[in-house]
Amino acid sequence: MRSAFIVLALCVAGIWAEASTDTLLRKARAAQGYDYPPPSIPFPEPTRPPPVVTRPPAPKTTRPPPPPVTRPPPTYLPPTNKPHPPAPKPTPRPPPPPV
């Protein structure tokens, strides 16, 4: 756990050092006159309309015919509410072997 904190502290210190170095470099360049503002755009870029794409019309989708209606055969009987038969009795365990 302690080593994780040490690694985390080193990462934070590295990020902070990198940021402060960048700030110092920017300040030094600005003092020497190398920090120029971004140039203004002399004219707006021309905009072109997107090319017209002509696609053939989509084919008409046809659905397959519905499946035939299934009905139970005439000999089918609905389930009854009879109780289930009792479960078979478990077989007794054999006696343990003599020691």
Residue range 67-86: mean pLDDT, rounded: 78
Report pLDDT for 76.
Answer: 65
Report pLDDT for 8.
Answer: 92
Percent of residues, the chain, with pLDDT higher than 70:
95
> Which tens digit of pLDDT belongs to each residue from 23-53?
877 788 878 877 677 778 787 877 888 888 8
Report pLDDT for 6.
Answer: 93
**Annotated domain spans of the chain:** 1-26
The vertex-26 CA angle with 21 and 29, nearest 5°, equals: 125
pTM: 0.28
Give the type of residue at 31. Answer: A
